[in-house]
Amino acid sequence: MARAADQNSEAIKIKFSRELGTGFPDLADVMDKLGEPFLILDWRGHIQYLNKAAVSLFDFGSKEELTEQAGDAFLQLSPLLAKYFKEAMQKKSPIQFEAELQNRWYEVHYNPISSWVSVHLHDISKTKQLESELQQWIERFETSVDNMLDSFVILSAIRDESNLIQDFVIEFPNRFACSVLRKKPQDIIGKTLFEVYPGHRGSKLFADYIRVVETGQPLKLESYYYEQPNFSGYFDIQAIKTGDGLAVSWRDVTQRHLTEEALRLSEERFYKAFQLNPATMSISRVKDGSYISVNQRWLETTGYTPAEVIGNNATNLGLWVDGDFCRVFSKAFRTSRSLRGLEVKVRTKSGKILYGHLSSEIIVMNGELCWLTVFQDMTEKRLLEEHMARLDRLNLIGETAASIGHEIRNPLTSVRGFLQLMAESKEGSVFKDYFDIIIEELDRTTFILSEFLLLAKDKAVNLVPQNLNSIVQAIYTLLQADANRAEKTIELDLEPIPTLNLDEKEIRQLVCNLARNGLEAMESGGRLAISTRYVDGHVVLAVKDSGKGIAPEIQDKLGTPFVSTKDGGTGLGLAVCYSIAARHHAQLFYETGPQGTTFFVKFKPPEPSCFTPPS
């Protein structure tokens, strides 16, 4: 509905009593020119006059409707208007208050004159908006500061007659500052700095505060030692000037300072002999085994961080694989203050098992008995020895296979042929079932000999540049058929890789053996994943099954010929894979766990390689 003020540019003069005098019309013309609303009400609160600016306060359809229905419409705009009108008439004295009218804020002035009341409205909406925004910023500031983990206070200077600063009044402390002092805000606000923080009296810090206020230069102190009856320690302090005072923040860095001091002493004493030692070294307390210090090599070997180690012990960290190790270790020190070359197994943070020798000596640090322990990691050496032993066994078997394999296969072929002839003859048909069994066992023997010959050390290989992905894709259909028959699935994830020098037949044999081992290790519904990657300059083939993992008692014998966990297995499949990998100068290794086993074959591409791995 349009306002009457939009349709009529003139002020509305309602008929009023002659008591106002004959000069009122002239006065009304003056009031009409005011830019702010002005009204005159009678003793009942009915509108007798309103100027042009006041018309915008009402919603009427036309000028005539506003003139006829004005009455006490003004007092009905807000309960406050009626309340203070009644009070002004009763007291016969001016009243000033604030009210919201038509979505705007006004400062309302009531001025009683005889049986009339003049009303002047001053628009303060902009001021109210600024006050609201200011209040929001104040609340945000106080919330942010109150949630700081540092002590924060705002101080105002107290000056003497000579305008010299004698003390400061605490205007605002945040929640953390109150918690440090164990006091409530109301117990701190309004108190002087010396009353709340007596440690400032006569201190250099107080002089620095004065300098900040007088010069405007900010203050920043690191690891400043402060002491007073209820708390003390090292603090980082910052202060900036605010008006005739300053804002100060304190951060307790006592623990950091003590840690830095301890680290400095440790570096001075053991930097060359301990921190830079290539051996894995640690210092721990005899009384509870808690670590005081470990060198960088220790952290790199175990995978732990200093925060996880210092103050903790090996038992809590689960370092010792042998649960009886602590008893053996303690027993060794009953007759001597040192221990040399004890064979141990150590578990890293990632769960990897390391084999090595442990040596330890009892020393005294700061009057406390401690163990200085050195661990020599022999894992790589052990793995190398096992690998060499496996190769030696394979070479021995391979040489044997090469020398007698052909001599055995040829007679077997002849025997098989005559058995077939005999089974097909009239006389031999009676024993056909027996002949079939004999022929089946001969075929099995021939298959074992064929596998056996693949172990030969000097077996000729035809290495030509080929792409491993192409070989895997070529036999995928064959492997998928085997998987479908067993109600299992095979997934390929082949990334772009460089060309390798490969013997296609041998690599097909390698992939088939690993894939079929994985399929046989899974139950129905299992998933086998075959993938290739280019990692750190090497091509890595991975065959991952979702079986139950390899039993620990089998892992040490894995790859040994004729050792198998499968019913009817020959134990030659994985041994053949190791031989093929060796002939291709590749590394074959595995990772196993309750979620399955992954075999990796790591190839080195021929040099130079211009292959650019995908981003």
In the chain, the domains with their CATH numbers are 4-123 (3.30.450.20), 130-252 (3.30.450.20), 258-377 (3.30.450.20), 382-453 (1.10.287), 464-603 (3.30.565.10)
Burial 86-118 (b: 16+ CB within 10 A, else e): eebbeeeeebeeebebeeebbbbbbebeeebbb
Task: Give the lowest-confidence range in 46-50, 382-386, 499-503, 597-601.
Answer: 382-386
pLDDT digits (tens, 9 = 90+) for 111-126: 998 888 989 999 998 8
Q: Is the dihedral of CA 295, 296, 302, 304 positive or negative?
A: positive
The per-residue pLDDT for 565 is: 62
pLDDT digits (tens, 9 = 90+) for 485-498: 889 999 999 999 99
pTM for the predicted model, two decimal places: 0.39
pLDDT digits (tens, 9 = 90+) for 456-487: 555 667 889 999 999 999 888 888 888 888 89
In the chain, pLDDT over 90 holds for what percent of residues?
Answer: 22
The per-residue pLDDT for 6 is: 39
pLDDT at 3 over 70: no
Residue (of 533, 531, 543, 552) closest to 603 by Cα position:
533
- The arithmetic mean of pLDDT across residues 266-284, rounded, is 77
Tell me the two tokens of residue 611: 């292959």
The per-residue pLDDT for 2 is: 35
| Cα dihedral 83→85→89→90 (10° resolution) | 10
d(CA 74, CA 80): 11
Of 129-143, 252-266, 317-331, 504-518, give the range with the top mean pLDDT. 504-518
The per-residue pLDDT for 57 is: 83
376: left (phi over 0), alpha (psi -120 to 50) or beta: beta
In 350-416, DSSP assigns E strands to: 353-365, 368-377
> What is the rounded end-to-end Cα distance, in angstroms, of the chain?
67
Over the chain, what is the mean pLDDT? 80
- The arithmetic mean of pLDDT across residues 341-362, rounded, is 86
pLDDT at 157 over 90: yes
